[in-house]
Amino acid sequence: MNPTTPSGTSVVRVEGDAPYDVVIGSHLGAELPRLVGDPTTKVLVISPPALAASAAVVRDDLVAAGHVVVLAEVPDAEAAKTAEVASACWRLLGQAEFTRSDVIVSLGGGATTDLAGFVASTWLRGVRVIHLPTTLLAMVDAAVGGKTGINTAEGKNLVGTFHPPVGVLCDLASLGTLPRDDFAAGLAEVIKCGFIADPEILALVEKDPGALADPATATGTHLRVLQELIERSVAVKARVVGEDLREAGLREILNYGHTFAHAIEQTEHFTWRHGAAVSVGMVFAAELARLAGRLGDDDVARHRSVLASVGLPVSYRADRWDQLHTAMRRDKKARGDLLRFVVLDGIGRPARLEGPDPSLLLAAYAAVGSDAPDAPLTPR
């Protein structure tokens, strides 16, 4: 732990060609100027309108440390991840004469993180980026690993780069005001890490799922459990991306549930929260693995029980197969007309399933399809 890091925090190291630390704790504001470094460094802070007050605090802290700071307010959620918004950020960088020694800071959820990372990776062929994730989903997923991206009309994250940050600050204090449904959406990625690599995560959630229902009440023991869940999830991702930054092989396991999830998001025009779609996507993948003879009934049932226990959906409407199938064929893991899925051969044993028979896909869809599906959390 860095000597300036507040007590009670934990640090997960992400190895690779450009190692960095993910700091997890409360009230980490003093860490940001340390990461930015030289007071002559200019900083562009990218954040959505809802975090305007927080962005102003970040600006004031950096200005007090001697930095020139430019604020870039971008749309909320997936609406930020467009070429037009990226271009507006590039325009600000050009007007402020940002050089390769300057830095971009993201403040917000996963979409803000994806956008900021993409802008940083493309400005002058790459400048430093620091992530300040404010949602659980961003802390355990988007902010760690260096994947950036924007969307096109044809699909999600089809344009992007690999650009690791120089540091990530996961301030648990920001979760206290997070709406319950946003928090639940983040738990989907936490639970995913349990299924693919760390069953202790599942045990922690199953022990007291009610304690995770409202982040505003996370104090004492509950806060320590939340911090452990985040630390374990980040550690899972750190181990994977440290070995496979560019998704050449191992990193694909982090996409468990995501092929079907991204199809839902596109079909629903991104009105579904990512975590809600991933929840249904994991159940779909589990059913597909069961039908292929690779996963037992009890493990499939565990998917439904642990996800439902924290308020996540486990079913989807039964009349959208054509749209979903078309969207899945555009998935980044597809190879030509060959659909490829991350599945489980058991809890903590991820594997691939390539080119499953169309009858298996339809049967898995029937298993999650419903004429009265679960609510997808509140719409965006």
Contact 108, 48 (CB under 8 A): yes
Choose, from 84, 97, 125, 335, the residue flagged as catalytic: 125
Active site residue 269: no
Q: Residues 275, 279, 280, CA angle at the centre, nearest 5°?
A: 125
Rg (CA), the chain: 20
Active site residue 258: yes
Choose, from 237, 304, 333, 340, the residue flagged as catalytic: 237
Q: Give which of 307, 33, 22, 309 is closest to 142, Cα–Cα.
A: 22
Active site residue 325: no
Contact 169, 23 (CB under 8 A): yes
Would you say how long the chain is, in residues? 380
Active site residue 27: no
**If you ran DSSP here, which 8-state letter would residue 345 be given?**
S
Q: How far apart are the first and last CA of the chain?
A: 38
Q: Give which of 200, 123, 187, 214 is closest to 161, Cα–Cα.
A: 123
Active site residue 274: yes
**How far is Cα 72 from Cα 63, in angstroms, rounded to an integer?**
16
Active site residue 147: yes
Choose, from 128, 274, 304, 333, the residue flagged as catalytic: 274
**How far is Cα 327 from Cα 333, in angstroms, rounded to an integer?**
12
Choose, from 81, 232, 255, 265, the residue flagged as catalytic: 255
**If you ran DSSP here, which 8-state letter would residue 318 be given?**
S
Active site residue 380: no
User: Encoding tokens for residue 354?
Assistant: 């390539």
Choose, from 42, 128, 131, 147, the residue flagged as catalytic: 147
Active site residue 151: no
Q: Tokens 């009105």 map to which residue?
A: 271
Count CB-CB contacts under 10 A for residue 358: 10
Active site residue 67: no
Active site residue 78: no
**How far is Cα 288 from Cα 300, in angstroms, rounded to an integer?**
10
Choose, from 262, 273, 303, 304, the residue flagged as catalytic: 262
Catalytic site positions = 125, 147, 189, 237, 247, 251, 255, 258, 262, 274
